[in-house]
């Protein structure tokens, strides 16, 4: 099976299929007014007053603004318009975004501070070149804690 050159569905190495790749719709370019209208229409959960409005993504733990949100699809793309989180590797959609209240911002900062403190307390290993090797998994712990925090928020709404 040959590798597609336009939008790869499979990745081929030496004529062997190595793994499947999901083909995504190209991003749709819209004016600010059009993008705001699309956000208002496709986000059934929260109102958008401007592209400067921010949301907290429960999936990736990032704060995103309307200007950053990606729009894909449409009549020239593949099917209906879709909006998604701009964070690389995050496939969240409007139902995964919550308003950035003071409580949420405080909890996000608190979690980040706890993770910074935890990573400072862990000693780094040293390799043969006397260079520090950080073998802690603080990023994984941080993501795990954000997920627990997000599930707590989802239960409250």
Strand pairing class (82-84; 70-72): antiparallel
Give the integer Cα–Cα distance in Å for 69 and 91. Answer: 11
Kindly state the average pLDDT of the residues 136-149. 65
- With 50 as the cut, is the pLDDT of residue 3 above it? no
pLDDT value at 126 more than 70:
no
pTM of the model as a whole: 0.58
CB 100 within 8 A of CB 54: yes
pLDDT exceeds 60 at position 132: no
* 55, burial (CB in 10 Å: exposed 0-12, middle 13-18, buried 19+): buried
Mean pLDDT of the chain: 76
Residue 124 to residue 119: CA distance in whole angstroms: 9
Which distant-in-sequence residues (6+ apart) come within 8 Å of 73 by Cβ? Answer: 25, 28, 79, 80, 81, 82
DSSP 85-117: --STT----GGGEEE--HHHHHHHHHHHHHHHH
Burial-class residue 19 by CB neighbours within 10 Å (0-12, 13-18, 19+): exposed
pLDDT for 47: 95
Average pLDDT over residues 32-44: 94
Question: Is-contact 142 150, C-beta < 8 A?
Answer: no
pLDDT in tens, 67-123: 999 998 876 555 688 999 999 999 899 999 999 888 888 888 888 888 888 888 766
Average pLDDT score over residue span 112-138: 66
Residues 12-30 have a mean pLDDT of 59
- pLDDT for 5: 47
Neighbours of 35 (CB within 10 A): 19
Q: Bigger pLDDT: 155 or 52? A: 52
Highest mean pLDDT among 6-15, 36-45, 126-135: 36-45
């Amino acid at each position: 099976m040959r590798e597609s050159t336009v939008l790869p569905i499979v990745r081929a190495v030496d004529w062997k299929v190595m793994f499947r790749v999901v083909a995504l719709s190209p991003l749709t370019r819209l004016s600010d007014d059009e993008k705001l209208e699309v956000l208002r229409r496709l986000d059934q959960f929260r109102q958008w007053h401007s592209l400067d409005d921010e949301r907290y993504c429960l999936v990736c733990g990032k704060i995103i603004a309307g200007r950053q949100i990606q729009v894909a699809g449409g009549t020239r793309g593949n099917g209906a318009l879709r909006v998604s989180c701009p964070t690389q590797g995050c496939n969240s959609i409007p139902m995964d975004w919550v308003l950035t209240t003071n409580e949420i911002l405080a909890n996000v900062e608190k979690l980040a501070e706890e993770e910074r403190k935890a990573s400072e307390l862990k000693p780094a290993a040293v390799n043969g070149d006397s260079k520090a090797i950080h073998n802690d998994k603080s990023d994984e712990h941080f993501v795990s804690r954000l997920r627990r925090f997000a599930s707590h928020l989802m239960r409250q709404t």
